Each structure stands twice: as C-alpha cells, then as structure tokens.
Amino acid sequence: MPFTEEQAAAQVQDRLISIASTVHDYETQRLKTEQQVETIQKAHDKINQEGRLTPYNQQKLMSLYMASINDAAAEEETLRNMLIKIREIREICNERRLQVRSIGNRESFHRGAMMLMLQTSAQTLPLYVGKPNTKPPPLCGAIPPDPNYIAKPGDMVAAFVKKTESPTQEDNWMLAEVVLYNVISKKYEVDDIDEEQQNCRFVLSRSRIVPLPLMRANPETDPDALFPPGTLVMALYPTTTCFYKAIVNQPPLSCLDDYEVVFEDNSCANGYSIPYNVAQRYGGRVEKPKNEISRKEYIYLVTCEKTLRQIKTSSDYGELLVSKH
C-alpha cells in the first residue's frame, strides 16, 4: 500500500507509541515473574528444612510452577509482539524509500557513508528467534531459499554481471538491490548498490541472482543454520561491494559475531588471504568446482600456515623444534 511521507511518518509514530507502551507492560510482567521465582525458591527452602515433601507442599509447588510457566509464556508473547511492530516499521520505511526511488529520487552516498550503511544493515538484520522444536526458515543464515523463491523489491542479492555488461569490464558478483521481477521474461531488474559506478541498473536472469539472508541465525540455538568451517562460500570482500570465493575459517560464536573467512588470493603462498570478518548478511553458498581443494586439504594448509607464522615470530628456533618433539 503506497504511503505519502506524512502517512508513513504517522504509521511509524503509532507503532513507536505502541512499542513504548508495551515496554512498560513487559516490565510489569517481568517483575511478576521474578516474584514467582522467589516464591518457588522459598517453598523449596522450607521443604528442605522440614526434610520431607508433603502432598500439600507438592501441590503448592505444582501450582507455583504452572503459574511461572504461564507468566513466562506471557512475557514471550509480549516480546514477540514488539518484534512484529519493529518489523512493520522496517517494512513501512522500506516501502516509502522504494516509492521515492521509483520517481527518480535515489539516495546518494559517498563511499565511507555507503560502507557504514552496509555495516549497519548487517548488524540490524533481524535475528531469528524460533519457538522450541521449530526449524529456521529459508534464508535464515545459511538456509537456502525455496527453489521457486522470488526476491522482493528492496531485497539485497548477489548479482552476476558479465564483463560485457559491467562498467569495470570484468565478470563480477556484485551486491545489488532488487527493483522488480518480470514474471513474463523471468528476469530481475537490479541496481548496483555502488552508486559510483555508471550504468548501475541491470536486467538479469534468475540463474544470475543469489538471494541473501533475510534473518541472522543464532549460533546458540540454531548452529545448523550456519556454514561450518571449511565450507566454500561467496562472501563480500571488506570495503568493497563485490563477492569473491572464500572458505569459512570459523562461524559466528554468538548472535553478534561475524564469520571469519579466508578469500582466494593467488598472491599468497597458500592461495588464501589472511582471515577477514564477514557478516551473515553478506555470505552465500557456492557449488564446489572439481578443481577446488577439499576441506581436509584446506585444514592442512591452515595448519602449515600457522606453523610458518609461529616459526617467523619465534626468537628461538631451537625452542620451537623442541616443543614440536
């Protein structure tokens, strides 16, 4: 639904007021839950002092636990409602931005501001918080999209642009934003996110578009939704808007962490760069060519590289050799 600037601002304001009110309600719920937990602890202390569990105390504990479970469920529901409001605000702002862009008023950023914008976009990508015994949905972390998935206008994608189409005269996987998808031609129109390039709009087939994650995966609750070490991925090279092949050195350890990856680099002795951090938003799986090294070979190369670094930084070669034997 199209919004005028005033309507969009009013819609956002209404949701912000709702969120502020809900925060106060949540604080009341949280204090109530804490009191229930304290009551349960006191009941346990009393039972321990008496040295026995009477039917009355057993029934009382059951009632307290059930009340605490219900309070916790109410807290969860309140938090999820706030997340829904936040998502709606993001959607309204994005829709308004696309409307303004459709009439030719595209945002303009200098290089430093654009890099900061990409970093902020990665950090604020919604974190998937699933309910117990539920699996992360497609495009959460490393979970691939459904085969028939169509990226929506405003979504970030990796787009393959051939050198005959690119102003840089090179084949590139670039960071792009979806403008539209033509269901008849089955092609995307996308804009290169780097506005310093000329001819930044491209018409590309679906096979040359890779949708990027819409949600971050939490390593503590959904580790299987992350690329494991040794996985060949396509990752955004730091301070650029282009994707290159890389191997995952270490996945995120917390929901705030990035991947640690090493990029293919022919100028390095082992063919790989030093480790770099890449956000979940800017990484995707690629099919492994037959001439690529295996995960076992990669681990061997990393081990050799670490040993060489240790030798170079050691002031006593003899001490190092003794420690190895």
Same domain, 286 and 303: no
- Structure confidence at residue 169 (pLDDT): 57
Question: In terms of domains, do 272 and 306 share one?
Answer: no
Residue 105: per-residue pLDDT: 61
Per-residue pLDDT at 266:
86
Provide the pLDDT for residue 109.
Answer: 63
81 and 30 part of one domain: yes
**Chain-centroid distance, C-alpha 104:** 30
| CATH number of domain containing 247 | 2.30.30.140
Q: Both 277 and 318 in a single domain?
A: no
Question: pLDDT tens per residue, the chain (325 residues)?
Answer: 566 778 888 989 999 999 999 998 899 889 888 998 999 998 888 888 888 888 888 898 899 999 999 988 889 899 989 999 998 998 888 888 777 777 666 666 677 788 888 898 898 899 998 888 899 999 999 999 999 999 999 899 999 988 676 666 578 899 999 999 999 999 999 988 886 655 688 999 999 999 999 999 999 999 999 999 999 999 999 989 999 999 999 999 999 999 999 999 888 888 889 999 999 999 887 654 444 444 444 444 444 444 444 434 444 433 433 333 3
Domain presence at residue 209: no
Distance, in Å, from the CA atom of 227 to the CA atom of 223, rounded to the nearest integer, reads 9
- Do 21 and 101 belong to one domain? yes
Same-domain pairing of 25 and 65: yes
The SS3 call for residue 292 is coil
Q: Give the Cβ contact number of residue 95 at 10 Å.
A: 17
Q: Which of 129, 137, 149, 118 is nearest to 282 (CA)?
A: 118
Helix 55-102 vs helix 5-50: crossing angle, to nearest 10: 160
Q: Which pLDDT value is given to residue 52?
A: 84
Choosing from 74, 105, 136, the residue where a domain stops is: 105
Does residue 318 sit in the same domain as residue 239? no
Per the structure, the complete domain to which residue 265 belongs is given by 223-295
Quick one: 16 and 64 in the same domain?
Answer: yes
Same domain, 18 and 93: yes
Assigned domain for 321 exists: yes
Q: Is residue 256 assigned to a domain? A: yes
Q: What is the pLDDT of residue 215?
A: 94
Nearest to 309 by CA among 278, 251, 270, 265: 270
Domain match, 42 and 83 both: yes
Residue 292 pLDDT: 42
Q: Report pLDDT for 317.
A: 33
256 plus 281 within the same structural domain: yes
Token digits for 204?
Answer: 């590309």
Contact 246, 264 (CB under 8 A): yes
**Residue 154 within a domain:** no
Q: What is the pLDDT of residue 85?
A: 92
| 11 and 97 share one domain | yes
Domain termination residue (choose one: 105, 140, 170): 105
pLDDT given at position 276? 95
Structure tokens at 67: 């009340």
Q: Which helix (H) or strand (E) holds 137?
A: none
The per-residue pLDDT for 313 is: 43
> What's the pLDDT at 117?
85
Do the domain assignments include residue 174? Answer: no
pLDDT of residue 168: 60
Residue after which a domain boundary falls, among 44, 75, 105:
105
On whether residue 50 sits in a domain, the answer given is yes
187 with 203: CB under 8 angstroms?
Answer: yes
* HSE-up (13 A, CA, CB side) for residue 163: 3
Q: What three-state secondary structure class fits 269? A: coil
Domain contains 196 = no
Residue 53 falls inside a structural domain: yes
As for how many domains the chain has, the answer is 3
